[in-house]
Amino acid sequence: MEINTQTKIAEALLDLALENPTKSDFSMCEIAKRAGISRQAIYQKHYRNCADIVKYLRNQTNDQIFAAFSQYDPSSGQNAFDYFAYSVIPTFYTDRRLIRCFFTTAIVPAWRSFILKTYTKWGLANYETHGYKYHFSDEAMVQLLIQSTMAIVETWLSQENPTPPDQFSDDFLKIVKTPVYNLLSVKKA
């Protein structure tokens, strides 16, 4: 199957970012060379610069993730973490290479803050928290939960061969149901 030009461009950028994780910008020459197409083809039919490619990839990924979130009905009584495990985690896995790139390279320096801002709004619109029990506002508690969840997802997808979602979804739920206090134990001598 022939890979379309837009996919070649995106894959070339991901390759470059993963090979150069501290570099936040790539020239169109670098991207075109890696994609095996002319720089002019990128400019004429697709993107003006590296930032346009990143924005396209970020928005496309976020649209897919947000679509999965949007199908969740809080009034159904289903726990949000159960829904996340079985309905959102597969979406992350589908785009695992791209999401790993966003988390582990400098190509999208504001990725974490973008996720935090976007999903804090969603969480506040759908949930009341128990933050008051811990002297946290609802917003602070939602942000804590989002950051914790994203840390789990980042750790999972940053592995060379992440566990498939049909297995990891159960692991994710075990992690979030286990008190942090019980996630470590002292090594026996």
Long-range own/partner contacts, residues 8-14 (CB < 8 A, 24 or more apart): 8/35, 8/36, 8/37, 9/35, 9/37, 9/42, 9/46, 9/47, 9/53, 10/53, 10/56, 10/57, 10/98, 11/35, 13/50, 13/53, 13/54, 13/57, 13/107, 14/97, 14/98, 14/101
Say which residue the tokens 């988390």 belong to. Answer: 103
SS3 109: coil
The reported pLDDT for the residue numbered 1 is: 38
Q: What pTM was computed for the model?
A: 0.87
The reported pLDDT for the residue numbered 3 is: 63
User: What is the number of alpha carbons within 13 Å of residue 23 lying toward its C-beta?
Assistant: 13
d(CA 99, CA 129): 28
CB 32 within 8 A of CB 41: yes
CB 21 within 8 A of CB 102: no
The reported pLDDT for the residue numbered 92 is: 93
The reported pLDDT for the residue numbered 94 is: 92
- Going residue by residue through the chain (189 aa), what tens digit of pLDDT does each one get? 346 888 889 899 999 999 999 999 999 999 999 999 888 888 877 888 999 999 989 888 888 888 988 898 888 988 999 999 999 999 999 999 999 999 999 999 988 998 999 889 988 988 889 999 999 999 999 999 999 999 999 999 999 899 999 999 999 999 999 999 999 989 888
Q: Return the closest-CA partner of residue 27 out of 7, 11, 48, 8.
A: 48
